[in-house]
Amino acid sequence: MTSSPLEGKTIAFAVANEGIEQVELEQPWDAVKSAGGTPVLVSLESGKAQAFNHLDKGDAFEVDTTFAEASVSDYDGLVLPGGVANPDALRADKDAVRFVKGFVDAGKPVAAICHAPWTLVEAGVLSGRRLTSWPSLQTDIRNAGGTWVDEEVVRDGWLVTSRKPDDLPAFNRELVDLFSGAAG
């Protein structure tokens, strides 16, 4: 009998309390659960995180813990969903940036889609990395020392990135593969 690829792994999903692109939260969350992992919603404040379907309000999701309370050592990987407002709020919060940078410093895998690499730019962890994002971030990524490419999904060491919701099937496949190789 074979085990699920993410069995016994806990994956943090880092979000602001508002502005998350709903599909970029839900589909990777479901991919982690389907692979046997345990997703945990980490946010700026306790309570609920409001997702959006582009510019229209979507569902609200219960926050499991805050960045101030969370410890990188409790997680095997990190997912950064997009939405324009979501990473913009995260990159302005010192606890969120510290949490994200902590994954890279610990050698743990990170998956970021759409506008989410903005938080990685702020954390100063993109130097020498090849990645993709929503096209409007390419100058920020280059200025942070990364190489931006226009591809459906890019995997570079500890990092998996994709451009947009249409890329979610490839993004989810790669993040499960990346996280399954993470030290548990």
Which residues in 100-110 are b (16+ Cβ under 10 Å) and which e?
bbbbbeeebbb
- DSSP letter, residue 42: E
Q: Are 162 and 170 in contact (CB under 8 A)?
A: yes
Strands 110-113 and 159-162: parallel
Q: Which residues contact 74 (CB under 8 A, 6 or more apart)?
A: 10, 12
> Which residues are known catalytic residues?
114-115
As beta bridge partners, residue 57 has 52
Give the Cα separation of 135 and 118 in Å (integer).
12
Tokens for 34? 């389907």
Give the Cα separation of 126 and 143 in Å (integer).
10
